[in-house]
């Protein structure tokens, strides 16, 4: 295997970890404000859309086994369109990093470091993510692979602990159809994580249907776990779900408070910590890759420096905090998400019709 490529198993781990992004903390409460417990069906529909994107990725990968996503767009739509789309993708990825960062910061500030300095958090975040990106994709994904089963075990254990708090199945079909679809559209920015695979497709090694099946299996398992989390969350909190902003920790709150085992919520804290760092590191790697496609004469280090400067400007000047980022996500970003996560891959699906496999020059 090429030193710059990742295996099908590593791709499966990557896809699984990215699927958790923005879905296990604040999203359940945000969706409840629109669709109540029917938010479970929003989650189901949008996860099915993720599966559809995954199948488009497989088809695109079979048709263009050695080409990057940028090269495909460049060949079929021209250089100007390719660069324009990659500028939009870079902006969108930057927003997603800001979102994960702000959600994680608020979570850790409340759960762990109430009196910790804001600057320490930013410094640690940048050091870890920058070093991960500079080492390259394969070492980063191998780190994810090493911790993967530990993270899945932590997640499953949190779900098992929440069973003791199970109240009753939530009341379904209680939200107006208009609010249901509006809630799904407004929160599209929390989905579309399979887009990462498109942007890394030239670094992914898929040789046969068995490799595709492995990626699909890992993805389906994570989707099932996420759906179980939402069922447990709405069953436990019901009409107060909109108040609880940290779903994975909140579902086990009563379990650890009324046992003598101690702070079992540390499992959720460790889980969120690793997932956040991995998700942001991968997104930053993709951002730098987009930057290099837009400015091919500049190296990866320039992409990292550009990101750091813009990120520090946004964060330190408080241009976007948690409330502002989520408000922007609901008002503007869904249109970016609709175009980049769904319309663009569907357009690329038409490129796979007819012809033979194409390889890079």
| Plot region of 173 (φ>0 → left; ψ -120 to 50 → alpha; else → beta) | left
pLDDT in tens, 110-123: 777 666 667 778 88
Using 50, 70 and 90 to split pLDDT, how confident is the model at 355? low
CA dihedral 303, 308, 311, 314 (to 10 degrees): -120
pLDDT by residue (tens digit) across 270-290?
A: 899 899 999 999 999 999 999
CATH 1.10.260.40 fits 8-351, yes or no: no
pTM: 0.91
Q: Domain map of the chain by residue range? A: 8-351
115-119's contacts with Cβ under 8 Å and 24+ in sequence apart are none
CA nearest 330: which of 99, 36, 84, 50?
99
Determine the Cα–Cα distance for residues 24 and 200; give it in Å rounded to an integer.
Answer: 25
Please report which confidence band the pLDDT of residue 269 belongs to, taking 50, 70 and 90 as the band edges. confident
The pLDDT-based confidence of 331 (bands split at 50, 70, 90) is: confident
Residue 343 has pLDDT above 70, yes or no: yes
Per-residue pLDDT at 260 exceeds 60:
no
Give the Cα separation of 161 and 146 in Å (integer): 25
CB atoms within 10 A of CB 106: 17
Per mean pLDDT, which range of 35-49, 234-248, 318-332 is the poorest?
Answer: 318-332
Per residue in 14-31, pLDDT tens? 999 999 888 888 888 988
**Residue with the larger pLDDT of the pair 200 and 267:** 200
Give the residues across from 143 on adjacent strands.
none
């Amino acid at each position: 295997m090429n030193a710059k490529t990742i295996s099908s198993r590593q791709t499966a781990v990557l896809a699984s970890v990215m699927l958790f992004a923005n879905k296990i903390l604040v999203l359940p409460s945000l969706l409840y404000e629109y669709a109540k417990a029917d938010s479970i069906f929003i989650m189901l529909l949008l996860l099915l859309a993720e599966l559809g994107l995954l199948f488009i990725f497989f088809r695109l990968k079979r048709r263009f086994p050695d080409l990057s996503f940028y090269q495909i767009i460049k060949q079929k739509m021209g250089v100007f369109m390719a660069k324009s789309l990659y500028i939009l993708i870079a902006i969108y990825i930057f927003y997603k990093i800001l979102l994960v960062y702000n959600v994680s910061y608020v979570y850790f500030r409340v759960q762990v470091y109430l009196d910790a300095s804001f600057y320490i958090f930013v410094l640690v975040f940048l050091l870890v993510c920058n070093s991960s990106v500079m080492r390259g994709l394969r070492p980063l994904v191998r780190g994810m692979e090493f911790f993967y089963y530990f993270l899945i075990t932590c997640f499953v254990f949190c779900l098992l602990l929440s069973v003791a708090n199970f109240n009753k199945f939530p009341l379904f079909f209680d939200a107006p159809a208009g609010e249901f679809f509006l809630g799904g559209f407004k929160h599209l920015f929390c989905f579309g994580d399979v887009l990462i695979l498109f942007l890394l497709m030239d670094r992914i090694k898929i040789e046969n249907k068995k490799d595709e099946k492995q990626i699909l299996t890992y993805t389906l398992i994570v989707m099932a776990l996420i759906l179980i989390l939402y069922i447990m969350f709405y069953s436990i909190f019901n009409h107060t779900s909109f108040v609880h902003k940290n779903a994975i920790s909140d579902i086990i709150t009563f379990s650890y408070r009324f046992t003598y085992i101690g702070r079992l919520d540390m499992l959720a804290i460790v889980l969120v910590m690793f997932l956040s760092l991995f998700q942001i590191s991968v997104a930053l790697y993709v951002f730098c890759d987009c930057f290099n496609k837009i400015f091919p004469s500049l190296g990866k280090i320039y992409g990292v420096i550009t990101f750091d400067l813009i990120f520090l400007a946004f964060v330190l000047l408080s241009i976007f905090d948690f409330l502002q980022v989520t408000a922007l996500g609901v008002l503007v970003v869904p249109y970016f998400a609709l175009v980049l996560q769904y319309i663009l891959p569907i357009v690329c699906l038409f490129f796979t019709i007819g012809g033979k496999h194409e390889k890079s020059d």
